[in-house]
Structures are given as structure tokens and as C-alpha cells.
Amino acid sequence: MLTAVELNLLKKHFEPDGSLRDVYIQGTIKKDWDNFIEYAKNLRYSYKVNNEEKELSLNLDSFWQQENQKLLSLYIGNIQINCHFFGEEEIELDIDVRDFKRDQDYLDFVDFIKQIGTKLAKDVIVTGENTQDYIILRYSCSKNSLHVQD
């Protein structure tokens, strides 16, 4: 749960500026991806390969060798969270801050961050688009804590 101060800080970081926000789970291995896909299947989602709707049943052993364009979109309340499958070593998601209209959207998103971090037993960071050094939000799995940057 976010405090009122944390919620207001997060809203400030999510003011529309024409860029997305990225979510990173670093240091991932095949098992983490398997857990991520298992988690995703319990949500409302769409999965497309080369812009064609497909069933989300991945053979991750050969998945990374395929040159197809893949997009997994997860829907958490009003928020669409996209995974483009850039590489096995990290899970990178992106969100459009224009999806955040109500306080509940922020709370749902933070809950998603905590759930995915817990499911994978990994820390999760939210950053500006393509700027891993600019951390907006960090979930520490070992401490089960959230920190919103001032």
C-alpha cells in the first residue's frame, strides 16, 4: 500500500511527457521467465507474434532464437503493461502513463509490481523510458518494501 505522500510522488513521476515508463526485472533466467508467463496467464492478456493473435504457450528453449516480433500485453484494471521480449537476461515491460487516471490505477500498478517481484523472488524497478539509472520506484523482494524516489 502507498502512503498519500508516496502516491503523490508517483503521480508526479507519471505526469504525461510523451515518454513511456519502463519496468525491469534484472538477472533473469529461464525459470524466472517460466514463472512470469505462468503469472501472466492468470491475468487478462493478449499475445501477438508478428501482429497476429496467438495462444500464450511458449517453448522458452527455442523462443529466443526466433526472429519474430513478439508482444505480450497484460491488462491490470485500466493499465496496459507491454512485454516485448528483448532478451532472456531481463524482463522489460513498458507502460503508458496516460493510462493512469484514478488513484486506484496507481494502487493496482504497485500491487502488480509487488506480486511479480514476489512471484519471481526478484527486485523490480520502474524507470523513465530507456533510463535504467533514473529509478522512480523500487520494490525490494528481500525486504518486501517499496520506495518511491523523491
pLDDT in tens, 16-67: 999 999 999 999 998 999 999 999 999 999 999 889 998 887 666 666 666 7
pLDDT in tens, 108-132: 999 999 999 999 999 999 999 988 8
Q: Are 141 and 26 in contact (CB under 8 A)?
A: no
Q: Which long-range contacts link 135-142 to residues 24+ away (Cβ below 8 Å)?
A: 136/10, 136/13, 136/14, 136/21, 137/10, 137/13, 137/110, 137/113, 139/113, 139/114, 141/117
pLDDT in tens, 54-110: 888 766 666 666 677 889 999 999 999 999 888 889 999 999 999 999 999 999 999
Instruction: Provide the pLDDT for residue 56.
Output: 82
> What CATH number does residue 110 fall under?
3.30.310
Instruction: Provide the pLDDT for residue 150.
Output: 86
Domain count, the chain: 1
Q: Are 21 and 129 in contact (CB under 8 A)?
A: yes
Quickly count: other Cβ atoms within 10 Å of residue 77's Cβ. 16
Q: Which amino acid is at 93?
A: L
Round to whole Å and give the CA distance between 92 and 25.
7
Instruction: Provide the pLDDT for residue 54.
Output: 84
As a whole number of Å, the end-to-end CA separation of the chain is 17
What range does the domain containing 20 cover? 4-148
